[in-house]
Amino acid sequence: MNSRYLPLLATIVIFILSYAACAAQYPNMLSTRVAGNLLTDNAFLGIAAVGMTFVIISGGIDLSIGSVIAFTGVFLAVILRNTAIHPLVAFAMVLVITTAFGGLMGAVIHYLKMPPFIVTLAGMFLARGMSYVLSIDSIPIEHEYYSTLTGIYYRLPGGGRLTLIGGIMLIVFAAGIFLAHRTRFGTNVYALGGGVQTAELMGVPVAKTTIQIYALSGFLAGLSGIVFSLYTSAGYSLAAVGVELDAIAAVVIGGTLLTGGAGFVAGTFIGLLIQGLIQTYITFDGTLSSWWTKILIGLLLFAFILMQKAILFLSSLNKRYA
Amino acid sequence: MSSSLKALAIRLAPQLIALVVILSLNFIMFPQFFNIVVQNDRLYGSLIDVLNRGAPVALLAIGMTLVIATKGIDLSVGAVIAICGAVAASSIVSGNSLAYTLVVTLAVGLLCGVWNGFLVAILNIQPIIATLVLMVAGRGIAQLITEGVIMTFNDPGLIFFGSGSFAYLPMPVVIWLLVGAIVILLVRRTALGMLVEAVGINRRASTLSGVRTPVLLMAVYMLSALCAAIAGIIVAADIKGADANNAGLWLELDAILAVVVGGNSLLGGRFSILGSLIGAMIIQAVNTGILLSGFPPEFNLIIKAIIILVILIIQSPALQSAAAFFSRKPAESAGMRVEQPK
């Protein structure tokens, strides 16, 4: 058994066990309605988490995504209110902006040799500040095309709805898995996470890959912002505070090593579902307060970090006695 | 002594210049900026306000400097502020004495530090992730303590730490000056500071040369959490209540920023607590200046981002090596060329 797959396997086992435990208490949890809502409610977080997975596999971190999501929402709301631009054109515009923003952060990280943590922290302030400048009020989006988009859904057997934004998230995860395991870019990302110097000596274009990784994260944060604005039908500069932490938690719970170099996009999906499941369970229960979500996610994070440590320790033992 | 003072002045020159520039900008936009008056046995004025409002970030920056000097980072301090504020409020509300409340609050803060230190020093988890656990769970714990409401109190003893005054200075200013002075004396008059730097530069080497690394790391994270606990008391006393959701929100980022603005490298090693404190004051002077000048506060974050970017570029290793290349003396560079063909 390859120890690489152990964290992923453990995540899947924990998810199945906890889903079974929830379903045993509340049989309704098994319905496709709950599953559909789980996907819809976590769509924006999932899309952003895919970008975060790539960043963390490469050994970096991106703190700016929550702010970029808020900026995207405010930008769309302002554009759609003040101009006659079609939403699809506005979507394209905002994706170009956020992708360029991410790429720029990647360039600063690489060329100025700065820690990603502090560069993306500056990016976080900048994006949040830009959305404040655009508007400090919550602006509703009342474009009829928005209601068309939010009205699209696929009826699952059992009455559940796979909404457009839930579908987008699934497509993004599928594309992310393809990108990570079947393309040269994906291989480069893993190589970079294994060690920048090693990657450079192997001929990985470090500059290009670093910029591409953060551009991808920026693009997905923008897409996540679009989904979030569809989900809330509004743009608000204080929205999506702390989403980056939820995304990091989903990635870690999904079995990606924070030291970089190892991890799976599919694991992030399970990590996301576990977080969503905790929230759904608390909603079903009704007596537990919402702050238990945070405490439980914190405990899960801790458990997974410990497990990763244990696995690394065991695999080093194996190597020694092999 | 005078030579070390001179070295200190050179080390802190960029920060001092930045502070002076920002303060004079404030003065140009708001001529009454330097006016200080005495009322009710306490100094009032914008300058005092900068010192006062900057207290939480200054306190956090003291602990954060040492954590960063060990090549670590403490993301949990904002959550620790929320937890300790909640503990202080709930203890005083349930009728405990002020002394008991303070001791319990600081003890809870130390406990948070022990947790972080345990993860980093004993379990060898990356600091950013280890402290992320408490950052995520901490606010939940704080809400658990306050039972989800903003717990208000009106105990004059506790409120004194937020709005009282001592020797004409507001109490928060007295506290951060005192804590700063104690910690600076502690690390610079003993070998502790040097050992912390050694751990930050090369943890393995310092362990091998006999530094008790786990103990030192544990102590550093405990100090950081203790500073956060003191800041938590000040923040709660200031608003006469514990707000588990918003107390200390994003202050960890401000504190890290203060440390970086203070000229400390995030990669660990040499550190200057004085620099970080000046950094905290620079950040607060910017905030106050933006408020006073009538600029929309929306620009606050953008200006902060630009300041970080400028400081990053100045500190950037890539730029520094370029600068070193150009400022090298010809003879020296010739010598270098022989050693390093590159």
Quote the tokens at residue A67.
């702010």
- Report the distance separating Cα B129 and Cα B196, nearest Å: 21
Q: Is B128 on the interface with A (CB under 8 A)?
A: yes
Strand residue runs (E) in chain B: 37-39, 42-44, 151-152, 165-166, 169-170, 241-242
Query: B317: which chain A residues are within 8 Å (Cβ-Cβ)?
Result: 112-113
| Mean pLDDT, residues B14-25 | 84
Are A245 and B256 an interchain contact pair (Cβ–Cβ within 8 Å)?
Answer: no
The minimal CB distance from B136 to the residues A118, A245, A306 is found for: A245
The answer to ipTM > 0.85 is no
pLDDT of residue A5: 78
> Residue B266 carries which DSSP code?
T
The single-letter code of the amino acid at A111 is Y
Other C-beta atoms lying within 10 Å of the C-beta of residue B149 = 11
Residue B298 to residue A133, Cβ atoms within 8 A: yes
Q: In the CATH scheme, what is the code of domain B49-320?
A: 1.10.3470
- CB contact B144 to A (< 8 Å): yes
Q: Do B132 and A309 touch (CB under 8 A)?
A: no
- Provide the shortest C-alpha distance from residue B255 to chain A (in Å): 12
Decide if pLDDT at B285 tops 50.
Answer: yes
pLDDT of amino acid B218: 95
CB contact under 8 A, A130 and B128: no
Cβ–Cβ gap B137/A294 under 8 Å? yes
Task: Give the rounded distance of the alpha carbon of B187 from its chain centre.
Answer: 16
CA distance B302 to chain A (A): 5
Average pLDDT score over residue span B252-260: 88
The pLDDT of residue B142 is above 50: yes
What number of other Cβ atoms are within 10 A of residue A12's Cβ?
Answer: 18
Mutation site, B298, B306, B314, B315, interface A, largest A CB count within 10 A: B298
**Contact yes or no for B256 and A121 at CB 8 A:** yes
Closest CB to B312 among A112, A130, A309: A112
- What are the tokens at B71? 């090549």
Minimum Cα–Cα distance from B268: chain A residue: A115
Write down the pLDDT at residue B112.
95
Query: Taking CB atoms and an 8 Å cutoff, what residues of chain B touch A128?
Result: 301
Best interface-test mutation with A: which of B75, B301, B314, B316 has the largest number of A CBs within 10 A? B301
Residue located via tokens 């022990």: B114
Pairing of strands B37-39, B42-44: antiparallel
Q: Among A37-41, B92-96, B177-181, B325-329, which is the least confidently predicted range? A: B325-329
On the question of pLDDT at B340 being above 60, the answer is no
Q: How are beta strands B151-152 and B37-39 bridged, if at all? A: unpaired
Predicted confidence (pLDDT) per residue in B30-56, tens digit: 777 777 888 777 788 888 888 999 999
Q: Residue B301: its chain A contacts at CB < 8 A? A: 125-126, 128-129, 132
* CATH code (residue A84): 1.10.3470
What distance in Å separates residue B258's CA from the closest CA in chain A? 12
- pLDDT, residue B280, reads 93
**pTM score:** 0.84
Beta-carbon separation of A112 and B125 below 8 A = no
Which residues of chain A lie closer than 8 angstroms to B83, CB-CB?
Answer: none
Distances (CA, A) of A275 to A175, A279, B250: 22, 7, 23
- The larger pLDDT score, comparing residue B1 to residue B275, is at B275
What average pLDDT does the segment B165-175 reach?
Answer: 89
Give yes or no for B313 touching A (CB within 8 A).
Answer: yes
Give the Cα separation of A205 and A282 in Å (integer). Answer: 46
Q: Is A237 helix (H, G, I), strand (E, B) or coil?
A: coil
Beta strands in B56-137 (DSSP E): none
Spell A129-165 as b/e; 16+ CB within 10 A means b.
bbbbbbbeeebebebeebeebeeebeeeeeebbbbbb
Q: What is the mean pLDDT of residues B128-144?
A: 87
What residues of chain B lie within 8 A of the CB of A132, using their CB?
297-302
Is A52 exposed, middle or buried, given 0-12, 13-18 or 19+ CB atoms closer than 10 A? buried
| pLDDT score recorded for residue A320 | 57
List chain A residues with CB under 8 Å of B123.
Answer: 306, 309
Chain-centroid distance, C-alpha A86: 27
Taking an 8 Å cut-off on Cβ atoms, the answer to whether A132 and B301 are in contact is yes
Environment class of A69 (CB within 10 Å of its CB; exposed 0-12, middle 13-18, buried 19+): buried
pLDDT at residue number A93: 95
- Yes or no, beta carbons of A129 and B300 under 8 Å apart: yes
Residues A221 and A64 sit within 8 Å (Cβ to Cβ): yes
Q: pLDDT at position A319, please? A: 62
B212 neighbors B200 (Cβ within 8 angstroms): no
> Residue B331 pLDDT more than 60?
no
pLDDT value at residue B315: 66
Mean pLDDT by 10 residues, chain A (322 residues): 73 88 86 87 94 94 93 93 90 96 94 85 89 88 84 81 90 95 93 90 93 96 95 87 86 83 90 89 79 82 80 70 52
* Contact between residue B270 and residue B70 where contact means Cβ atoms under 8 Å apart: no
CA-to-CA dists, residue B11 to B15, B69, B275, B329, angstroms = 9, 16, 8, 22
Chain B residues in contact with A259 (beta carbon < 8 A): 126
The residue type at B117: G
Tell me which chain B residues have a C-beta less than 8 angstroms from the C-beta of A118: 256, 260, 266, 308, 312
CB pairs under 8 A between A and B: 122
Chain B residue numbers touching A298 (CB-CB < 8 A): 133-134, 136-138, 140
3-state class (DSSP) for residue B131: helix
Give pLDDT tens digits for B63-74: 999 999 999 999
Under an 8 A CB cutoff, do A258 and B128 touch? yes
Average pLDDT, chain B: 85
Cβ-proximal residues to B281 (8 Å cutoff; 6+ apart), any chain = B19, B50, B51, B54, B58
Parent domain of A118: 3-321
Contact A6, A317 (CB under 8 A): no
> Which residues lie closer than 8 Å to A131 by C-beta, 6 or more apart?
A67, A70, A71, A73, A74, A75, A237
Q: What pLDDT is attached to residue B341? A: 42
Evaluate whether B75 touches B251 at the Cβ level (below 8 Å): no
pLDDT attached to residue B88: 94
Given a cut of 70, is residue B60 above it in pLDDT? yes
Nearest to B136 among A121, A124, A249 (CB): A249
Mutate to test the interface with B, among A137, A302, A307, A309 (most CBs of B within 10 A): A302
Per-residue confidence band for B328, with pLDDT thresholds at 50, 70 and 90: low
Domain ranges of chain B: 49-320
Q: What is the pLDDT of residue B329?
A: 53
| Contact in structure between B304 and A125 (CB atoms under 8 Å) | yes
| Chain-chain contact of B316 with A112 (C-beta, under 8 angstroms) | yes
- pLDDT tens-digit profile of B186-216? 999 999 999 999 999 999 999 999 889 999 9
Residue with more model confidence, B108 or B270: B108
Number of CB atoms found within 10 A of residue B259's CB = 31
